[in-house]
Amino acid sequence: MTTTDTKPTRPWAASPRDRALTASSVLLSLAITVGIVLGTPMKGKLAYFFVFLITWLIVDSLYVVRKFGAKGVRDALAAKITLYGAVVVSMAVFSILWATVDEGVAGLNLAFVTENMRNASFFDPIGKGGVLHAIIGTLVLIIISIIIAVPMGILTALYLTEIKGKAAGLIQFLVQAMSGVPSVVAGLFIYAAIILNTPLRASAFLGGLALSILMIPTVTRTAQEVLNLVPRDLREAGLAMGATQWKTVALVVLPAARSGLITATILGVARIAGETAPLLFTVGVFDGYNFNPFVGGTGTLPTVIWAGLGAGTPEAAQRAWSAILILLIVVLIMFVLARTVGSRQFKKK
């Protein structure tokens, strides 16, 4: 019989006093850090950073030991060190992102995305020549890879989730093994199997084949997860109505998993969009447009970057950064798409 309205509280949450103490320990550590760095021959932002990390570790431990003893200090140290680990990892990522944007933006201009390198060389200044051929080439490769890898990946996943035959364990193992194939080996294989044995020569088609080897395991794994999420009742309902298995799969299961399968495709594309090594063996480097995927090399973003770095000039390096900025944008778009489509899949459930 409560007559008054008691307010819920959280006595275990950090109180203002706790926060003030933490703030003061941070400030104190900052002050000491600045003192140390200025007083010693260390230099650079990173020096401040590392010294601060160590200083705060010590200062805060002194704060804690008074109230909580040695046990508390260990706990506080663990909390900080795990935080530091996460911070270092984040810093690496931000460094990569920042560098790409910072360096790449300088080389972006209209010419860059509308021309190819046919009439320009690596020594020409920015503004002459572009990577449109490479963008198109990468897109062509992606399309070819999707056409080859997605059906195979989904069919393999279907075997594992729908048919579940005796070979399922073996197939599962093989898919895992396939996901470990180094990209170099994939390219080398296509070269050995096709270029050395048949009249076919370097082309986008071969590149797509090599990339498919890398893409199939990713698609299979994601598709498998997604298909397993389709509730069993749906399948049983289909079968109970007298539908054959393939009709159930085609008309009930696959549509139910549709957005997840799209996610699987997108993740597969993200996996191969930036691959360079396989292309070096199967596609080569090419300056102009080539709309025939079966004959002749084509430019792709990764190989253009590769060639640019090989040339060694500052202009080439600039082009490389700008090209990779474009490539990164492509990958990021894939990434965001995969997440939004994927989450819609799970929200529906």
Partner 1 sequence: MEAQTNTEKNGTQMSEKNTTTPSSLSDVAAKRAEAKVAGTAPLGTGLEARGVHAWFDKHHALSDVSLDFSAGTVTALIGPSGCGKSTFIRTLNRMHEFIPDTSMAGQVLLDGKDIYEPGIDVTKIRLQIGMVFQKPNPFPSMTIGENVLSGLKLAQLKVSNQEELLEECLVRAGLWNEVKDRLGAHAGGLSGGQQQRLCIARALAVKPKVLLMDEPCSALDPGSTLRIEETISQLSKSMTIVIVTHNMQQAARVSDYTAFFLSDGGPGQMIEVGPTNEIFSRPRDERTENYVTGRFG
Partner 2 sequence: MSIDAPAKVIPQARKITTKPRVSDQIFRAIVTGFSFSALVILALIAAFLLLKGFSTLRDQGFGFITNFEWNVTLDESGKEIADFGLQAMLVGTMVISLIAVVIAVPLSVLTALFLTFYAPERVKRILVTIVDLMAAFPSILYGLWGLFILMPMAVYWAELLHKWLGWIPLFDVPQPVFTRSPFIAGLVLAVMIIPIITSVSREVFAQTPLDRVQAAYALGATKWGVIKAVVLPFGANGVVGGSMLGLGRAFGETVAVYFVLNIVFRSNFEILFSQGGNVASMIVLKFGEAGETEIGALMASGLVLFLLTLVVNFIANAVVNRTVKSGR
The contact set with partner 1 (CB under 8 A) reads 1-2, 6-12, 15, 17-18, 67-68, 70-72
307 near partner 2 (CB under 8 A): no
Q: Long-range contacts of range 118-123, CB-CB < 8 Å, 24 or more positions apart?
A: 118/287, 118/288, 122/307, 122/308, 122/311, 122/313, 122/315, 122/316, 122/319, 123/311, 123/313, 123/315, 123/316
Contacting partner 2 (CB under 8 A), which of 35, 85, 125, 231?
85
HEC-encoded secondary structure of 156-218: HHHHHHHHCCCCHHHHHHHHHHHCCCCHHHHHHHHHHHHHCCCCCCCCHHHHHHHHHHHHHHH
Residue 282 · residue 209 · CB < 8 Å = yes
Per CB under 8 A, does 160 bind partner 2? yes
CB contact at 8 A, 157 and 220: yes
Q: Are 216 and 178 in contact (CB under 8 A)?
A: yes
Which residue has tokens 């395991």?
Answer: 217
User: Which of 179, 201, 234, 313: binder of partner 2 (CB under 8 A)?
Assistant: 179
Taking the complex as a whole, how short is the minimal distance between the CB of residue 198 and partner 2, in angstroms? 12
What whole-number distance in Å separates Cα of residue 149 and Cα of residue 261?
Answer: 12
Contact partner at residue 48 from partner 2, partner 1, none, CB < 5 to 8 Å by partner kind? none
* Minimum distance, C-beta of residue 57 to partner 1, in the bound complex (Å): 20
Site for partner 2 in 91-150 (CB under 8 A): 92-93, 95-96, 99-100, 103
Find the binding residues for partner 2 in span 50-69 (CB under 8 A). none
344 interacts with partner 2 by CB under 8 A: no
Please state the closest distance from residue 29 (CB atom) to partner 1, in A: 22
Which one of 27, 89, 106, 237 is in contact with partner 2 (CB under 8 A)?
A: 89
Is 19 a binding residue for partner 2 by CB under 8 A? The answer is no
Tell me the one-letter amino acid at 194: I
Q: Pick one of 142, 175, 202, 204: the residue that binds partner 2 (CB under 8 A).
A: 175
Nearer to partner 2, 124 or 189 (CB): 189
* Site track for partner 2 across 192-221, x = CB under 8 A: xx--x----------------x--xx--x-
Smallest separation, CB 33 to partner 2 (Å): 18
Cα separation, 139 vs 301, in Å, equals 10
